[in-house]
Amino acid sequence: MARVFASLVVVVGAGLLTTMGVGSLALTSAAAPSGHEVSHAASTSCGGTLPAGTVVGIAATKDDGGYWIADNAGVVVACGDATDFGGLTTTPAQPIVGIAATPDGGGFYLVASDGGVFTFGDAVFQGSTGAIRLNKPVVGMAVDPSTGGYWLVASDGGIFSFNAPFYGSTGSMTLNRPVVGMAESNGGSGYWLVASDGGIFSFKAPFYGSAGSLRLNKPVVGMAPDLATGGYWLVASDGGIFSFNASFAGSTGSLALNRPIVGMESNAAGTGYRFVASDGGVFDFGTSAFFGSAVAPIPVTPAPTTPAAEASCSVTLSNGSPADGTEETASITSNIPNSSVTLTKAFKTTTSSDSGSTDASGDATIDFNISSASAGFTVVVTVSVGGATCRTSFTPV
C-alpha cells in the first residue's frame, strides 16, 4: 500500500476532476526528516548561493550524486558531482520557471515563462515558444528520455512538443486550478500534468489517483515520477507529499519552513526524492543524499550603536551682583569628565581668564577675583570645556 503524508483536511467534492479513473490514497504519519533537512544551512559542497525567494527548481545528475539548483534569473548552482555548466549571463526577457536534466545527466535545460529554452552541457536545443504569443505562461517542462526531446507545459495545460510525441493537453479545457508542473512516465511513453489543487491529468500514462478531491493546507507546486513503480509523487508548498503507487520516504509537511517548497525531483531507482525551497534549501529523503544547498548566509546585522551625547555644559555664579575686589565662585556642570576648563571674564576695559578641570562626573568649580570692575557694567563669563561652551554674567555694584 502506498503511504503519503501532507498537512491536509479531507472533504467531499472539492478540487479538480482528473481525466480518468479513481485513485486510492492512504494517509500515515510522516517519517521525521534528518538533521540537515531542517538546518537549511549553506553548504560548501555547492558552487554558490542564490538570493532568497528566487529559486524555481532542482534537477539531479543521472547517478543521483549531485544536482543543479536554478533561480528565476537563470543563475544555476551546481552541487555534489554535478558539473558546473554555468547559467545565463544576461537577464532573460521573461523569468526562468524550471530546470530539467538531459537523459544522460550531462547537461540541463532552463525554460522561461514565455517558453524560451536555454541549453547547457550536452542539452540540445530543439525549439521553443519564445517567439510565440501564448495564451498562458509556461510553468514547467519535462524531457523525453526516448527521443531526447522535450515538452513544455503552460498554466492552462497547453503542451508544446519539441522532438517529443504529443499525447494531448488540457489547453481547450476550463480548469478549476492552473497547471503547475508535469512529469514524463516511464520511457517517455506518456506524461502527467498536475494542477495546484493536486488534480492529475494523464496522457498515455497510468492514472493512480490525485489530490483533486482533497482540501489542502497549501497548494501543490510540482510532481516527480517513480521510475521503479510507474507511479508519481506530488509535493505541496509546505513540503507535504502525496504518493500514488510510489514509495513514501518522508515530507516536511509538519515543519515550519523558512521559505516555501517550489519543486522536487526523484532518483532513477525510485528510492528517494528531494525538494527545493525558494531560498535554495534542499530537503532529501530516502536514498537521495544531501550535497548542500544554495541558501545564502543570513546577513549579519550590526548591533545598534548609541550615538555619543552632544557635549554640553552650564555655569552658575555664587553672586550675581558682587562688589569690586570680592571673590566669586563659578560652578560648572558638564557631560565631559576629566577635561580642561577655561573661564573667561569680559570686563569693560579688560578680559581675563582662569582655568581648571572637570572631575569624573564632569563638574568643576573655579574661584576668581573681581578687580577693576566698572559698577553697573555687565560682565559676560564664558566657559569652554571640551567641545562645549556655556555663558553667564554678573553686574558689579
- Per-residue pLDDT reduced to its tens digit, 281-290: 999 999 999 9
Indicate the pTM of the whole model. Answer: 0.70
- What pLDDT is stored for residue 307 in this prediction? 83
Provide DSSP, 209-241. --STTSEESS-EEEEEE-TTTS-EEEEETT--E
Task: Using the predicted structure, report yes or no on whether residue 2 has a pLDDT greater than 70.
Answer: no
CATH class of domain segment(s) 313-394:
mainly beta
* Chain segment 33-83, per-residue pLDDT in tens: 333 333 333 444 899 999 999 999 999 999 999 999 999 999 999 999 999
Side chain identity at residue 381, one-letter code: V
Domain 8-286 has CATH 3.20.20.70: no
* Chain segment 95-154, per-residue pLDDT in tens: 999 999 999 999 999 999 999 999 999 999 999 998 899 999 999 999 999 999 999 999
- What pLDDT is stored for residue 374 in this prediction? 87
- What pLDDT is stored for residue 253 in this prediction? 84
- What pLDDT is stored for residue 163 in this prediction? 97
**In the structure grid, which three cell numbers stand for residue 97, read together?**
520557471
> Are the beta carbons of 383 and 332 closer than 8 angstroms?
yes
C-alpha–C-alpha distance, residues 205 and 212, integer Å: 18
- What pLDDT is stored for residue 302 in this prediction? 86
- What pLDDT is stored for residue 14 in this prediction? 27
C-alpha–C-alpha distance, residues 308 and 327, integer Å: 37
C-alpha–C-alpha distance, residues 177 and 196, integer Å: 6
> Are the beta carbons of 156 and 171 closer than 8 angstroms?
yes
> Are the beta carbons of 251 and 261 closer than 8 angstroms?
no
Q: Are strands 55-60 and 8-9 parallel, antiparallel or unpaired?
A: unpaired
- What pLDDT is stored for residue 30 in this prediction? 35
C-alpha–C-alpha distance, residues 150 and 364, integer Å: 86
Residue ranges of the chain that CATH labels 2.60.40.1930: 313-394
Average pLDDT over residues 337-363: 94
H or E element: which one contains 38? helix 35-39
Residue ranges of the chain that CATH labels 2.130.10.10: 8-286
Closest CA relative to residue 231, chosen from 241, 239, 240, 221? 241
- What pLDDT is stored for residue 7 in this prediction? 29
C-alpha–C-alpha distance, residues 143 and 136, integer Å: 21
> Are the beta carbons of 384 and 340 closer than 8 angstroms?
no
**In the structure grid, which three cell numbers stand for residue 124, read together?**
540540445
